[in-house]
């Protein structure tokens, strides 16, 4: 384990993984890596971040400096978590996602392939650059394929954002939002009703498979 990385017990990493990579900007802290990580080829973890236990990556994943990531988080192939982000426990970030600087993702949230966050309200403006902040994603929220979320937007806990949506305003907890710009189209049904529907569907499927 290089000097730029602390921890990392029981790490399983492919040969071309970089841990504790030094950024060009000044960062004094090493990388703190929790136990039992699985890092696949092309992964780069920068010095200055703190990553919890059982972290898992796909191929060609980049985690920039000064980010905090909880336990049991997975980030899949060709995704980037930029610097200064806060990610909770059991978060799943799928393939080809970009998490912009200063974004927050709370526990159990899910980002489908191609999700992209923005963090600059007025690109190219010096004053705007000084106030950059990414979106905030509530616990258990689910973002569909190719969703774009603009700066400062708050997506509430357990909300669902439909595929291809562009989220320009806050989404309340438990709401389904779809479109560009994303608009509320409903709310999350009661979990017990969903489980009952799934059980019925599975039972019907089992009947269909009988000889």
CATH number, domain with residue 29 = 2.160.10.10
pLDDT at 148 over 90: yes
Could you read off the pLDDT of 161-211 as tens digits, one per residue? 999 999 999 999 999 999 999 999 988 876 677 678 888 889 888 777 665
> 35-49, 117-131, 163-177, 185-199 — which is least confidently predicted?
185-199
Q: What is the side-by-side order of every strand in the sheet holding 98-99?
A: 18-21, 44-46, 62-63, 80-81, 98-99, 116-117, 148-149, 166-167
What is this structure's pTM? 0.88
178 lies in which domain range? 5-208
- Domain total of the chain: 1
101 contacts 82 by C-beta, under 8 angstroms: yes
Could you read off the pLDDT of 53-106 as tens digits, one per residue? 999 999 999 999 999 999 999 999 999 999 999 999 999 999 999 999 999 999
- Measured distance CA(106)–CA(94) in Å, rounded: 16
How far from 141 is each of 61, 145, 169, 171, CA to CA, in Å?
A: 22, 13, 15, 10
Average pLDDT taken over every residue of the chain: 93
């Amino acid at each position: 384990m290089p000097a730029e990385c602390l921890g990392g017990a029981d790490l399983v990493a492919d040969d071309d993984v970089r841990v504790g990579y030094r950024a060009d900007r000044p960062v004094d802290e090493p990388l703190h890596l929790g136990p039992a990580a699985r890092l696949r080829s092309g992964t780069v973890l920068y010095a200055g971040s703190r990553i919890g236990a059982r972290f898992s990556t796909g191929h060609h994943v980049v985690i920039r400096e000064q980010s905090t990531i909880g336990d049991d988080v997975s980030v899949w192939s060709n995704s980037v978590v930029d610097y200064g982000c806060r990610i909770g426990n059991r978060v799943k970030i799928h393939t080809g996602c970009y998490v912009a600087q200063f974004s927050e993702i709370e526990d159990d949230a899910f980002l489908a392939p191609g999700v992209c966050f923005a963090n600059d309200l007025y690109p190219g403006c010096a004053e705007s650059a000084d106030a950059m902040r990414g979106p905030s994603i509530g616990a258990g929220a689910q973002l569909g394929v190719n969703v774009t979320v603009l700066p400062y937007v708050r997506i509430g806990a357990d909300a669902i954002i439909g595929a291809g949506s562009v989220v320009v305003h806050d989404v309340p907890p438990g709401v389904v939002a779809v479109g560009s710009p994303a608009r509320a189209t409903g709310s999350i049904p009661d979990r017990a009703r969903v489980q009952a529907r799934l059980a019925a569907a599975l039972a019907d499927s089992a009947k269909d498979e009988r000889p």
